[in-house]
Amino acid sequence: MKTKFYITTPIYYPSAKLHIGHAYSTVVTDVFARYKRLAGVPTYFLTGTDEHGQKIQETAEKNGKSPQQFVDDVVVGIKELWSKMRISYDDFIRTTEPRHEKVVQQIFSQLLKQDDIYLSKYQGWYCKFCESFWTDTQIGEAKVCPDCKRAVHPEAEDAYFFRMSKYADRLMDYYQKNPLFITPESRKNEMINTFIKPGLEDLCVSRTSFSWGVKVKEDPRHVVYVWLDALTNYITALGYGSAKPELYEKFWKDPQSEVIHIVGSDITRFHVIYWPIFLMALGLRLPDRVFAHGLLMMKDAKMSKSKGNVIDPLPLMEKYGVDTVRYYLVRETVFGGDGQFSPEQFVERINTDLANDFGNLLNRTINMVNKYFQGVVPNFQGPISEFDHQLSSLTSQSIQDYQTLMNQLLITEAYAKVNQLVARANKYIDETQPWNLAKDPGKLKALQVVMHQLIYTLYVAGTLYQPILVTTSDAFFLQLGTKEKPTLKAIADPKVVNGLKLNPPIPLFPRLDPLIEVPFIQSTILKK
């Protein structure tokens, strides 16, 4: 197991307000980062914004702003959203920052000098009116510009190209030697069959048709292709190529650091083909893993602003609290598959897992310890009954399984284990019937064991939920009589809860009434 951890989200286009689909990438990455910190692993978590390119330039113009002013304004909102969602990033990189732009130029120069990048002609169909090049498929049989529908003409312009094909074999070799590099497996097969097997084409890495980008130092008519610019954020943010490369050396260069990119499935190709090839050309190490998660859809279609079916996380968080939204995002969709946002499922998920199972367990248990032991948790004495043994071994097994699964990025399975543990503890109350044990003074020890074990199980579950439930976990541990939130190491020992003085129970997750909440959530959908 590696000793350090570097995890990144994609950097988002600040072209419009972000929606719950973007929040999905970021929340899941945040949960992994928080988990690693909980496990005591030195961790660095990066997010940011991808601010160059024609689209941003055009959107800024439409809004009557300079591109820089436009992105500056949008980024304020993005940072506010992440702060409200309690995203614990260590750094936020913007590709318009000098620390990034300078290094992009350096990288381009090096690749040019090495002859990995060469000057040639970009052939395509040109629309004079829109000043844009289009491909054969884009213009269709009518041979018209897909934007303005005017006739297009074959034309060529100077452009720089990257020799992708030169690295294809080395890339395949890396895939073979690192079977987890691209996950889920289905994405890997898609990449190999669609892009690598037919032969990698050289990639056009500069543009002259617009100016909002990093200028090629050697030839300032050109700006660097936005994906070459964007992908390098993962190392420029760490200080690669700068006078202060310490973080780069610690979290990227050192093979003891595990490097993980979390991306949406729509941008897999850039991360598993172009990015590793750029790194090989630069002579740098490659990431350990690129995990491509699925996309969140609405019932009938992909969430998109133009369709007018976008879920904004802000009103949901304002009404139900940040933790319920974080929990829903992590737990509802199988990580790696596509998901569907549904107001009914949102309400159901919160009610079942948080209000009923977890919340009830907490409530019932605290009430019983208050009633039978004046709120003081009995000391650990080891399991007695068959039921004690079962819950005790499930609890230690769950701690193990959770960590193994999280280390493999199997976050859905990891949290399913925590849910199972909570469900098992609720069942344990029904099995052991503490209210009957309390009636018989001869069963005092049995009652102590049951109460200790319930609190310990809660303590464990609360700790494993901590990376998701970042605000309620303060209140949760306060009810269990501890201000300090435990680490993963601490919960291995059942004695950790001995003698805790509990506080009165307060419901953490009130039950949501679907008749009221489903229409409310529907009313928050951002229409066109």
Q: Which amino acid, residue 276?
A: P
Kindly tell me which of 151 and 334 has the beta carbon lying closer to ligand MSP: 334
DSSP one-letter string for 380-427: P----SHHHHHHHHHHHHHHHHHHHHHHTT-HHHHHHHHHHHHHHHHH
Shortest distance (Å) from residue 9 CB to ligand MSP: 7
Kindly tell me which of 342 and 473 has the beta carbon lying closer to ligand MSP: 342
Shortest distance (Å) from residue 29 CB to ligand MSP: 10
243 dihedral zone (left: phi>0; alpha: psi -120 to 50; beta):
alpha
Shortest distance (Å) from residue 381 CB to ligand MSP: 48
Kindly tell me which of 18 and 518 has the beta carbon lying closer to ligand MSP: 18
The CB-nearest residue to ligand MSP is: 264
Kindly tell me which of 279 and 446 has the beta carbon lying closer to ligand MSP: 279
Give the strand pairing for 203-204 and 153-162. antiparallel
First-to-last CA distance in the chain? Answer: 48
Kindly tell me which of 125 and 335 has the beta carbon lying closer to ligand MSP: 335
Shortest distance (Å) from residue 150 CB to ligand MSP: 28
Shortest distance (Å) from residue 236 CB to ligand MSP: 11
Shortest distance (Å) from residue 341 CB to ligand MSP: 8
Q: Which amino acid, residue 248?
A: Y
What are the φ/ψ torsions at residue 177 (nearest 5 degrees)?
A: -75, -20
Shortest distance (Å) from residue 59 CB to ligand MSP: 13
Write the CB contacts of 378 (distance below 8 Å, at least 6 apart in sequence): 448, 449, 451, 452, 498
Shortest distance (Å) from residue 38 CB to ligand MSP: 25
Kindly tell me which of 19 and 36 has the beta carbon lying closer to ligand MSP: 19
DSSP one-letter string for 176-207: HH-TTSEESHHHHHHHIIIIITT-PPPEE-EE
Residue 27's nearest CA partner among 331, 318, 319, 342 is: 331
Name the CA dihedral angle for 403, 414, 187, 10, rounded to a multiple of 10 degrees.
-80
Shortest distance (Å) from residue 303 CB to ligand MSP: 4
Cα–Cα dist 113/106, whole Å: 10
Shortest distance (Å) from residue 228 CB to ligand MSP: 10
What are the φ/ψ torsions at residue 49 (nearest 5 degrees)?
A: -135, 145
Name the token pair of 224: 């660097």
Kindly tell me which of 263 and 422 has the beta carbon lying closer to ligand MSP: 263
Enclosing H/E stretch for 374: none
Cα–Cα dist 362/509, whole Å: 11
Cα–Cα dist 278/276, whole Å: 5
Kindly tell me which of 119 and 284 has the beta carbon lying closer to ligand MSP: 284
State the CB neighbour count (10 A cutoff) for residue 99.
14
Kindly tell me which of 85 and 464 has the beta carbon lying closer to ligand MSP: 85
Name the token pair of 319: 């009404």
Kindly tell me which of 237 and 354 has the beta carbon lying closer to ligand MSP: 237
Interacting residue ranges for ligand MSP, rule: CB under 6 A: 10-13, 21-22, 24-25, 50, 230-231, 233, 263-264, 266-267, 295-296, 303
501 dihedral zone (left: phi>0; alpha: psi -120 to 50; beta):
beta
Gyration radius of the chain's alpha carbons: 27
State the CB neighbour count (10 A cutoff) for residue 355.
18
In DSSP terms, 156 is beta-bridged to 123
Kindly tell me which of 298 and 444 has the beta carbon lying closer to ligand MSP: 298
Q: Which amino acid, residue 472?
A: T
Shortest distance (Å) from residue 333 CB to ligand MSP: 9
